[in-house]
Amino acid sequence: MGQSLYTLQDPTKQYPQPEFQHQPQAVPGSQAQMTPKPDCGESSYKGSGRLPNRKALITGGDSGIGRAVAIAFAREGADVVINYLPAEEQDAKEVIALIEAEGRKAFAMPGDISDEAFARKLVRDAHRKLGGLDVMACMAGKQHWVEKIADLTSEQVQETYRVNVFALFWMCQEALKLMPAGGTIVTTASIQATHPSAALLDYAPTKAAILAFTRALARQVAGDGIRVNCVAPGPVWTPLQTSGGQPDKKIPQFGAETPMKRPGQPVEMAPLYVLLASQESSYVTGEVYGATGGLEVG
């Protein structure tokens, strides 16, 4: 899968289409247990030196979009710190090995960014380990469907906001103390920000908040030479979906509602993060790039 990433082909048939099998997992989920396994660029992404010697911190770097971005950044010439939950250690070890195979420095920093003290320390430690910090790409997120608002607990709402929104404030506050002019921050919203699903009543508003946060912070720090941009994916085939992000009954047809009739693969998101992290996008800030298979981000 994905071996012909750079060959002209029909994108609707480039990756698996529904129907998929039922495959519920416990949170936080694992790539190894998914069928088909997501393509995060392990064998399909080829770098071309677009991030030479950059120093990048990536959250959610063990699996899904974060894994794809970590692999892509390394193959473009960056040294990388990945953050992930301790329960995701096995997936993270694979990513570290893939980064090191490119001759780049790789550091694993497990921990929960919903904890303010850890989130702030993560940024400082990444800066110390890498000998600098000029890219921060934030993919880690919490998503768990609940059908009715009456069943949505205060605990879940607070945890979703802490991971998706509050951690972004804490990490950006620390990163902006350390980043040089030319540094970039890339956030991750979602089509849910503007086209929310009924069962994602807590998750969707956090993604709308990320859109506004990105645009406001970009204006605030542009004069300092720091750029802030956002990627807004549509349905993407990741462990987040099979571990409660979607009801299991929806997994067999996941992504079928897009004009391309399939979900995206993590590797298809990675080039946007590479572009926004690179000097090639030097006049781009406060922007939101959709990758939705034809759905409108709005």
- ∠ CA 40-43-48, nearest 5°, is 90
Which one of 3.40.50.620, 3.30.310.50, 3.30.70.120, 3.40.50.720 gives the CATH number of domain 49-291? 3.40.50.720
To the query of whether residue 203 is one of the catalytic residues in this protein, the response is: yes
Q: Where are the domains of the chain?
A: 49-291
**Of these residues, 203, 273, 283, 289, which one is catalytic?**
203
Of 46, 245, 234, residue with least CA distance to 160: 245
Q: pLDDT tens digits, the chain, 298 residues: what are they?
A: 445 788 999 999 999 999 999 989 998 888 888 999 999 999 999 999 999 999 999 999 999 999 999 999 999 999 999 999 999 999 999 999 999 999 999 999 999 999 999 999 999 999 999 999 999 999 999 999 999 999 999 999 999 999 999 999 999 999 999 999 999 999 999 999 999 999 999 999 999 999 999 999 999 999 999 999 999 999 999 999 999 899 889 999 999 999 999 999 999 999 999 999 999 999 999 999 999 999 987 6
> Per this entry, what is the length of the chain?
298
For the beta carbon of residue 189, count every other beta carbon within 10 angstroms. 26
CA distance 52 to 48: 9
**pTM tops 0.85:** yes
